[in-house]
Structures are given as structure tokens and as C-alpha cells.
Amino acid sequence: METTNNKKKKRKFKQTKQLVRLAINDGWTQTEIAKACRTHQSIVSNWYKGIDQGTEQQLKPLLEQYGHKLRRNSFKVYWNIDSESKTKVFHKVEGKVILNQAFYDARRVSHKLEKKIPQLKLTIHHQGNNKFRVVYQSRLTFQHSNAELESTVEDAIWGAIVSEQYELAELLLVIDKYAEKTLAEYPSDANTLPFILRQSLLNHGFHIDGIVEYPAVW
């Protein structure tokens, strides 16, 4: 448990430069930032210039005050229509999109790959502090004809259910189960989703236990 906590404390915050500039623009000096973050002014200068990044633990005083402004710049709007009451529900989900994946059963006809119209979709937002929220989506249809909604705005054709927040370990379990159960009718996607999720998380700088690593030596 201590190892996991230490890794969290040492994780670099990718938006360090933007965070420091928010504070500077709000009247902070680099010396004041250094004092609040318990570091040196020269290090804050490197953060400001984008030469280096601070850790989430170091930047905690700034994140508590300005973190919401960073998150506000990254959000998506979702909606759903209740099948019985026809009530429309709209959702605004903040946080960087880690994964945005549509699902369909890939079939071959005469050795030619044919892809059906996707019926399900999965979007995962990172909401800071190692917390994630999953948006489960399915194609919206008209009640009487069962015809699918069409729109020039791609997000408008999907009905959405927004999950609770998950820690990283919980997220992996939830999505692996989703692949196994919900995507049973989409065998190609069911088998590849666990890989795609882990690849995306690693590409965004998250540490995943159980990954066999082969580091390079420069």
C-alpha cells in the first residue's frame, strides 16, 4: 500500500505549466509559489517555462485553488431519453477523455472486412486524483419505428448512462467485466478492449500494476 501511495506522490502533473501560469496571472509571484509548494524559486521558474513538471503532491496548494479551472476547459456533454416518460436528461462530464471507443462486430464477406454500424460506445474521463468516470452509450432510436436517430453532431445520436467514480484498479475490473458480459455479441471488441484500455492509460502516463516492462537504457 505504501508503494502505491509513494507512486501517486511522485507522479508528474502534466499540466504543471498551465497551473503555475494560472497562479501567476492571479497575482502570485514565483517566490510565493515556491514557498507554498515547499520548493525553490528556480524550480518554479522551470515549471513556468515548461522545462520541468511538479508532482501532484508538490502542487497540491495550487491544485486546491486553481485545479477546477483546468478541469473546466475539458468536458463533454451527454444526454439520454427515458424510454417510458420520454424525459430528456443532460449530463456535463468534466475531465480529460482517456478512451473513446465504439463497438461493432467485425465480419468478413468473401475475405472482405465489413463493419456494421456501431451500436455501443464507451467514453472514459479522468477527473483528477486518480479518479475516473465511465460513460456507457448506446444508439438512440425512435420509439415507433425503431429507426436510429441521425445527426450531423455525432454525440447527439448516443444515449448515455454516467457511472460513479472509480479508482484506477476498480476501473480496470469494471471495463474487463464490461468486455466479457456486455460485449459478448461483439467478440472482436470483447477480446481487444482490455488491451486498448491499458494501452490508452499507459500512453496518458498512468501506472498499471501487473504490466511486464522492458525499459530502455539511454
Same domain, 122 and 27: no
The helix (run of H) or strand (run of E) holding residue 88 is: strand 88-94
CATH number at residue 7: 1.10.260
The reply to whether 215 falls in a domain is no
Same domain, 163 and 79: yes
In the listed set 46, 72, 98, which residue is the last one of a domain according to the structure?
72
pLDDT by residue (tens digit) across 47-67?
A: 998 899 999 899 999 988 888
Same domain, 146 and 80: yes
The reply to whether 216 falls in a domain is no
Same domain, 41 and 85: no
> For the chain, what is the domain count?
2
How confident is the prediction for the chain on average, in pLDDT? 87
The reply to whether 208 falls in a domain is no
Where does the pLDDT of residue 9 fall: very low under 50, low under 70, confident under 90, or very high at 90 and above?
Answer: low
Cell numbers of 148, please? 436510429
What is the dihedral sign for C-alpha 66, 69, 75, 81? positive
Where does the pLDDT of residue 25 fall: very low under 50, low under 70, confident under 90, or very high at 90 and above?
Answer: confident
| Domain extent for 87 | 75-203
Give me the half-sphere count of Cα atoms (radius 13 Å) on the Cβ side of residue 21.
Answer: 10
Please, which residues have CB within 8 angstroms of residue 151's CB and are 6 or more apart in sequence? 157
Residue 101 burial by CB count (10 A; 0-12/13-18/19+): exposed, middle or buried? middle
Same domain, 165 and 95: yes
Please, which residues have CB within 8 angstroms of residue 38's CB and are 6 or more apart in sequence? 58
